């Protein structure tokens, strides 16, 4: 009997609790206070940016063509050198001795050839007069041919000795900048193996970028003169975030598109008389965009990124229906308000604090720019009195050589 009473009491309490829960309304979330801008298309001046690396138009590793010990280093490391300037000397004594011996051998061969020619001429005359044995004449002719061959071999040996002697002095193959020496005085160098140094051209300097294959046609048009009337078509931002004081021009588009990445290398050349640019520098190349079509521009802070996709919130007028009972709904008129609707967008270039929207919103849409962190699709919002600054369609970094 006692157990039955406890069961009945528990049932009554559960029923009362359930009834009280049914009549309790959930707490209302207050609207989020936000600021909005009205999307508007306008002419935009901006630059497409590419990660770039400086590269020499010509670069070569200096390798010895003869073997020996380094006896002289005739340049200052890191300096600018001229074509033909002496850079290294390899022990020349053995090559000078070989050259002198080759000169002497050539003189002996020249004398032998002269004597053989005289004998051949004499026996040729006697043979025509039937005054000498035919065998002597034949021997004289053979001796002459052998002397000619000996002289030719001696002449080639002299040329080879002279080449080796010249190779014992390493000179600059072109004007450029030379790096740190890989060898020191007294080091032994091996033909075609020991790297002595590296020299590269420095004026002009190449700047290499990778572009998507979809942009290839545009860059080919630029290469063939479409952008000649554009001021500062190609500009460069240095690693210290300052502008390089000279403009570049497109030089080379690589022959093929990479099958792995779908990209192609493009080289822009810049004058470098002051040697501000060094091989291997990481820079940013700016390409003046020539699209005159008006673009929709909104503040960058309005963008929400989720899993590599981009969204904005549009403030939209709507009707708010009360969550009360049916009688209350019939007694009260609906209230008007605004909600935040999430829109997926495709973004373009960033221009200062603003960003170009390629598609996803239209002119006249009210885009929320403040308070987006507290929103989700369908959130109720109130527009604050404070109005954000309307974005301008001008790249604040477009000054030719101003600060970034």
Domains defined along the chain, listed by start: 29-44+293-383 (2.40.420.20), 48-58+202-288 (2.40.30.170), 93-167 (1.10.287.470)
pLDDT at residue 14 in the model: 60
Query: Hey, is 93 helix, strand or coil?
Result: helix
Tell me: pLDDT of 21 over 70: no
Sign of the alpha-carbon dihedral angle for 154, 159, 160, 165:
positive
Most confident of 15-24, 36-45, 120-129, 246-255: 246-255
**Angle formed at CA 46 by CA 41 and CA 47, multiple of 5 degrees:** 145
Share of the chain above pLDDT 90, in %: 46
Confidence of residue 28 (pLDDT cuts 50, 70, 90): low
pLDDT at residue 183 in the model: 95
Confidence of residue 319 (pLDDT cuts 50, 70, 90): low
Average pLDDT over residues 4-19: 54
Element housing 359 (H / E): strand 354-359
Residue 318 near residue 334, CB atoms below 8 Å: no
Confidence of residue 25 (pLDDT cuts 50, 70, 90): low
Neighbours of 267 (CB within 10 A): 17
Q: How far is CA 54 from the centre of its chain?
A: 7
389 vs 345, residue with greater confidence:
345
Q: Which two tokens stand for residue 179?
A: 């790096």
Average pLDDT over residues 102-117: 93
Question: For residue range 120-141, what is the model confidence (pLDDT) as tens digits?
Answer: 898 888 888 888 888 888 888 8
Q: What is the pTM of this model?
A: 0.64
What letter would DSSP give residue 391?
Answer: P
User: Taking Cα atoms as reference points, which of 316, 272, 111 lies closest to residue 176?
Assistant: 272
Confidence of residue 330 (pLDDT cuts 50, 70, 90): very low
Confidence of residue 398 (pLDDT cuts 50, 70, 90): very low
Tell me: pLDDT of 388 over 80: no
pLDDT at residue 275 in the model: 87
- Of 152-161, 228-237, 336-345, which range is least confident? 228-237
**How do the residues of the chain divide into helix, strand and coil, expressed in percent and rounded to 5?**
30, 35, 40
Average pLDDT over residues 52-68: 95
Tell me: pLDDT of 186 over 80: yes
User: Taking Cα atoms as reference points, which of 271, 68, 244, 253 lies closest to residue 170?
Assistant: 68
Taking each helix axis from N to C end, the angle separating 134-167 and 93-128, rounded to the nearest 10 degrees, works out to: 160
396 vs 380, residue with greater confidence:
380
Give residues with Cβ within 8 angstroms of 274, minimum separation 6.
none
150 vs 222, residue with greater confidence:
150
- Of 21-30, 69-78, 110-119, 145-154, which range is least confident? 21-30
Tell me: pLDDT of 153 over 70: yes
- Of 64-73, 213-222, 223-232, 295-304, which range is least confident? 223-232
Tell me: pLDDT of 18 over 90: no
Tell me: pLDDT of 326 over 50: no
pLDDT at residue 7 in the model: 53
Q: CA–CA separation, 336 vs 176, rounded Å?
A: 74
Tell me: pLDDT of 379 over 50: yes
Tell me: pLDDT of 217 over 80: yes
Q: Which two tokens stand for residue 396?
A: 């604040």
Residue 54's DSSP bridge partners are 207
Tell me: pLDDT of 160 over 70: yes
Tell me: pLDDT of 173 over 90: yes
For the chain, report the end-to-end CA distance as a whole number of angstroms.
87
Q: Which two tokens stand for residue 103?
A: 């000169």
218 vs 183, residue with greater confidence:
183
Tell me: pLDDT of 156 over 90: yes
pLDDT at residue 328 in the model: 47
Q: CA–CA separation, 74 vs 89, rounded Å?
A: 8
382 vs 12, residue with greater confidence:
382
DSSP letters for 223-279: HTTTTTTSTTSEEEE-TTS-B-SS--EEEEE-SS--TTT-EEEEEEEE--TT----T
User: Taking Cα atoms as reference points, which of 337, 403, 390 lies closest to residue 39?
Assistant: 390
pLDDT at residue 89 in the model: 96
């Amino acid at each position: 009997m006692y157990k039955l009473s406890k069961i009945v009491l528990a049932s009554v309490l559960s029923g009362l609790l359930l009834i009280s829960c049914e009549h309790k309304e959930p707490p209302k979330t207050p609207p989020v206070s936000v600021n909005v801008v009205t999307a508007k298309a306008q002419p935009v001046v901006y630059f497409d940016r590419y990660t770039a690396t400086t590269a020499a138009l010509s670069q070569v590793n200096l390798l010895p063509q003869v073997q020996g010990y380094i006896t002289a280093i005739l340049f200052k490391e890191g300096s600018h050198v001229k074509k033909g300037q002496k850079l290294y000397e390899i022990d020349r004594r053995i090559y000078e001795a070989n050259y002198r011996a080759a000169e002497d051998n050539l003189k002996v061969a020249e004398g032998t050839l002269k004597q053989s020619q005289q004998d051949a001429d004499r026996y040729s005359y006697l043979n025509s007069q039937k005054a000498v044995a035919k065998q002597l004449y034949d021997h004289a002719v053979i001796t002459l041919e052998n002397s000619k061959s000996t002289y030719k071999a001696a002449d080639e040996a002299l040329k080879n000795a002279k080449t080796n002697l010249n190779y014992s002095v390493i000179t600059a193959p072109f004007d450029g900048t030379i790096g740190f020496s890989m060898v020191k005085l007294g080091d032994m160098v091996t033909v075609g193996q020991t790297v002595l140094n590296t020299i590269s051209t420095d004026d002009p300097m190449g700047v290499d970028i990778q572009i998507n294959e979809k942009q290839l046609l545009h860059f080919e048009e630029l290469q063939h003169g479409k952008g000649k009337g554009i001021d500062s078509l190609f500009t460069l931002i240095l690693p210290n975030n300052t502008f390089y004081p000279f403009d570049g021009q497109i030089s080379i588009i690589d022959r093929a598109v990479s099958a792995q990445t779908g990209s192609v290398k493009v080289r822009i050349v810049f004058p470098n008389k002051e040697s501000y640019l060094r091989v291997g520098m990481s820079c940013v190349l700016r390409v003046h965009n020539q699209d005159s079509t008006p673009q929709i521009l909104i503040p960058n802070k309005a963008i929400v990124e989720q899993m590599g996709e981009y969204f904005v919130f549009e403030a939209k007028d709507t009707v708010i229906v009360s969550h009360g009972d049916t009688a209350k709904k019939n007694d009260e008129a609906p209230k008007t308000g605004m909600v935040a609707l999430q829109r997926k967008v495709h973004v373009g270039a960033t221009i200062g604090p603003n960003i170009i929207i390629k598609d996803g919103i239209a002119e006249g849409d009210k885009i929320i720019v403040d308070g987006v962190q507290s929103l989700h699709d369908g959130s109720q919002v109130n527009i604050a009195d404070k109005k954000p600054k309307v974005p301008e369609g001008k790249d604040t970094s477009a000054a030719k050589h101003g600060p970034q």
